[in-house]
Amino acid sequence: MGLPTQVSIVVVCYNYGRFLSAALDSALGQTQPAGEILVMDDGSTDETRAVAGRYGSRVRYVALSHQGVCPARNGGLAEAKGKWIVFLDADDALEPRYLEKTLAAWQAAPEPKPAFVYTQRADLLTGQTSSHFPEYDASLLKQRNYVMVSSLMDKEIVRSIGFDSAFAGGLEDYDLFLSMAERGYRGLLLNEPLLRVRTHPESRSRQCGRPDERWRLMSRLLSKHRSFFNAEESKVWRRKMREFVAARIRENRKPSDSMFSRVKGLLMLLRCRAPRASLREQLLFVLFPKQFEIRQTLW
């Protein structure tokens, strides 16, 4: 095991005490040790404090009032002492050589050095690679976010931008990386699955995947970064948003849905100017949910 590095691993936790040990064990088990490990407790009411306390001086615990992930991460930026920072979600984990390999990749990179090093990810339970992120390209970043917030990042660059609470419901990481790209910073891909991600019903990615919430957040993101997108890129972005909303509404349909839920889906499609075929399909579902199910089965 090497000497401690100038890396701060910041674990933001809100009522994920049941997962926290796995995250902290992975942070402490690095072949190239972190300089410090912080737990930013965003007002948890579960066992988070007790779990963090078991690690004694190896982990610095910071209690916060519940304000959400963006203020908690910004608090971590203010508390962190390292040159680099890694935000590890409390329900995820790092491979043992995460710091060793990302730091080596940064050191080997030509000048100007990248602002962050990102990796592929794997399913925490199965170990199977669950991503195929491309080499860094700002134009591709405008189409989708392929950079994880658990990247090894230059702390001062991240601190100069911060996490925008307007995206407290999700996409705050996407907003951060778009802001970096706008300022001319670039990233570097280390093409190995060194981040282990846990998928479960309560994960934030699932919550912001709801059609209405996703549309709201994506619209806000495009509005904030509109000067970074040319007319064609904005057009493509909006088309993808419409496709996402229509697909999610289609996937989530159930004959038992209430009239309110069915109408809400129709209004959502109208709001995002979905294709006529999607509108007609949803209208049939609003009016004749049981017959619609039979028709779908026959199709």
Q: Are residues 192 and 82 in the same domain?
A: yes
Instruction: Please indicate, yes or no, if residue 164 is contained in any of the structural domains.
Output: yes
Instruction: Please indicate, yes or no, if residue 191 is contained in any of the structural domains.
Output: yes
**CA 167 to CA 173: how far, in whole Å?**
9
pLDDT interval class at 298 (50, 70, 90): very low
Q: Do 5 and 33 form a contact (C-beta atoms < 8 A)? A: yes
What is the rounded average pLDDT of the residues 6-32? Answer: 97
Q: Are residues 185 and 272 in the same domain?
A: no
**CA 12 to CA 118: how far, in whole Å?**
19
pLDDT interval class at 227 (50, 70, 90): very high
Q: Do 218 and 242 form a contact (C-beta atoms < 8 A)? A: no
Residue 207 in this model has a pLDDT that exceeds 60 = no
Instruction: Please indicate, yes or no, if residue 50 is contained in any of the structural domains.
Output: yes
Instruction: Please indicate, yes or no, if residue 2 is contained in any of the structural domains.
Output: no
Higher pLDDT, 184 or 268: 184
pLDDT interval class at 279 (50, 70, 90): confident
Instruction: Please indicate, yes or no, if residue 232 is contained in any of the structural domains.
Output: yes
Q: Are residues 199 and 215 in the same domain?
A: no
Q: Do 155 and 84 form a contact (C-beta atoms < 8 A)? A: yes
Indicate the DSSP class of residue 228: G
Percentages of the chain per state (helix, strand, coil), in multiples of 5: 50, 15, 35
Q: Are residues 51 and 148 in the same domain?
A: yes
Among 169, 184, 207, identify where a domain stops: 207
Output the pLDDT for position 293: 60
Q: How far is CA 260 from CA 27, 250, 263, 279, in A?
A: 46, 16, 5, 16
Lowest mean pLDDT of 44-48, 69-73, 150-154, 195-199, name the range: 195-199
What is the rounded average pLDDT of the residues 187-203? Answer: 87
**CA 277 to CA 296: how far, in whole Å?**
14
Return the CATH number at 144.
Answer: 3.90.550.10
Q: Are residues 286 and 233 in the same domain?
A: yes
Q: Are residues 202 and 215 in the same domain?
A: no
Q: Are residues 65 and 198 in the same domain?
A: yes
Instruction: Please indicate, yes or no, if residue 85 is contained in any of the structural domains.
Output: yes
Q: How many domains, in total, are found in the chain? A: 2
Instruction: Please indicate, yes or no, if residue 123 is contained in any of the structural domains.
Output: yes
Instruction: Please indicate, yes or no, if residue 89 is contained in any of the structural domains.
Output: yes
Strand order in the sheet with 93-94: 60-64, 36-42, 7-13, 84-89, 152-154, 116-123, 187-197, 93-94
Tell which residue, 214, 235, 21, 44, has the closest CA to residue 124. 21
Among 207, 239, 269, identify where a domain stops: 207
DSSP result, 167-213: GTTTTHHHHHHHHHHHTT--EEEEEEEEEEE---TT-HHHHTTSHHH
Among 173, 207, 241, identify where a domain stops: 207
Tokens of 25: 């064990």
Q: How many CA atoms lie within 13 A of 252 on its CB side?
A: 17
What global pTM score does this model have?
Answer: 0.85
From its phi and psi, is residue 199 left (phi > 0), alpha (psi between -120 and 50) or beta?
A: beta
**By residue range, what is the domain housing residue 113?**
7-207
Indicate the DSSP class of residue 124: T
